[in-house]
Structure 1
Amino acid sequence: MHITQLLTSPVYWVVIILCIGYLILLRDEKGCVIFLGRVYSIIHVCIFITAILLYLFG
């Protein structure tokens, strides 16, 4: 499976939307669990941006 196939996966789109919502809605919260969720969300968004760039320029 290539990373560019993530762009056509509806489940991954839902994950990205939930991750972005998590980052926006819980931006003022503090704590270890919130921090781990932020790291998880940022990793998924970075993977998604990488997939978009590889799809466009790769």
Structure 2
Amino acid sequence: MLDRFRPRASAESLIETGSDLKVEGRFQETVNYNHFTSEDFANLTRVKELLTNSTDEW
């Protein structure tokens, strides 16, 4: 069951750097180094919405 939660990545994708996001200051270096993209940001926003909605029901 836990195998489906395991991320699948190629060696090439693990060493990619750069980002399509533009942020101020030193944080840009971190975003570039970690290859954080707008798609990642959209996915995290969706997860936040799902978690927020699930805790509202308690």
Same fold (TM over 0.5): no
For the superposition of Structure 1 and Structure 2, which TM-score range results when normalised by the shorter chain? 0.3 to 0.5
Q: Which has the higher helix share?
A: 1
Higher relative contact order (CA 8 A, sep 6+): 1
TM-score (norm: length of structure 1) = 0.39
Higher gyration radius (CA): 2
